[in-house]
Amino acid sequence: MKPSRRGLLQVAAAAAAMPALARRAKALDSALGSALDYPTRPVHLIVGFPAGGVTDILARLLGPWLSRRLGQQFLVEDRPGAGTNIATEAVVRSQPDGYTLLMATSTNVINATLYDNLRFDFLRDTTPVASIARTPLVLVTTLSFPAKTVPELIAYAKANPGKINMATAGIGSSLHLAGELFMRMTGVQLVPVHYRAMYLPDLLAGQVQIGFTPMPTTIAQVRAGKLRAIAVTTAARSPALPDIPTIGELVAGYEASVWNGMVAPRGTPAAIVDKLYREIDAALADPAITARFADVGSVPVSMPPAEFGKFIAADKEKWGKVIREDNIKAE
């Protein structure tokens, strides 16, 4: 039977495609092999804050674990500046090979709305790897402040609008937005006082009266009786301060916290992402790691990549709405 012209063309097309398919298969095999062998050299874990902050602390707790499990050093590099944007851009511009990773935080999704001129899109240009932890903010007051509970604070603020100074770590910081959300949901008027440097000395001295502060920053002062904690901002109470109520117990629906997770540049092979997630998930189940997290007031929260990606998108929308509706602009 004489082959048809159409059949001959199909055979020719298939033959022509075979080298390309072979190259693609070889590339896939190479990528899979690289992922299975990963890592074969040191991995750089980038932090967008100075040393000593909660993100840096968590990175330095996880780094040695990952180094031991995966046989290569995980080197923590602090690259502070521009509200984490310098570190984030460095990561999104790096090769998507699993050797440059970002310790992402809630600041990254806040910045996505806060800044109009970023040269990257955090959600588009990163690949979620794993959620790591949630760290409550603690609503603290000076010891001389008359309100000792959230209801008393609300009543006092309504009787004295615009007379309570609230310390923040800068315009658009998690601390600032936690306070803005509190104002929106309670109808009170506080005066944000934005600090470029550390605000804690002024808070201890009574120059500002209240603050929504990261637990690692102020838990020692609370335990020493130098500041009064009246609430935590997470949905559940903190094991580090179990007797302190959540704001949500008193203001229905309120929740604000600092989260940390790991992201990679867009295009990082799924096999590498999955490998990292499995090791991080194992770390968060290790009692030694969870105890160290508890020391700084952080709670391990494990989410696989897809779930973590959905969480990031939802958090961006939550804080983006506050920023837009309150017309908050970066300095």
What per-residue confidence (pLDDT) applies to 99?
98
Q: What is the dihedral of CA 86, 91, 95, 96, to 10 degrees?
A: -160
Decide if 2 is inside a domain.
Answer: no
Mean pLDDT of 201-224: 93
Residues 124 and 303: their CA atoms lie apart, in Å, by 19
- Report the sign of the C-alpha dihedral through residues 239, 281, 216, 195, in that order: negative
Domain containing residue 170: CATH number: 3.40.190.10
Domain that holds residue 62: 37-134+259-325
For 13, phi then psi, to 5°, come to -65, -40
| Helices vs strands, H then E, count in the chain | 12, 10
Residues 193 and 115 in one domain: no
Domain containing residue 295: CATH number: 3.40.190.150
Whether 182 contacts 251, CB under 8 Å: yes
pLDDT band for position 295 (50/70/90)?
confident
Mean pLDDT of 182-207: 93
- Answer with the one of 230, 249, 268 that is the final residue of a domain: 249
Residues 97 and 183 in one domain: no
Decide if 9 is inside a domain.
Answer: no
Residues 305 and 321 in one domain: yes
Please state which of the ranges 15-19, 226-230, 296-300 shows the lowest mean pLDDT: 15-19
Residues 255 and 247: their CA atoms lie apart, in Å, by 7
Residues 179 and 239 in one domain: yes
- Answer with the one of 249, 274, 290 that is the final residue of a domain: 249
pTM of the model: 0.84
Number of domains forming the structure of the chain: 2
Residues 213 and 306 in one domain: no
Indicate the DSSP class of residue 3: P
Q: Which residue has the tokens 């609230």?
A: 166
Whether 218 contacts 200, CB under 8 Å: yes
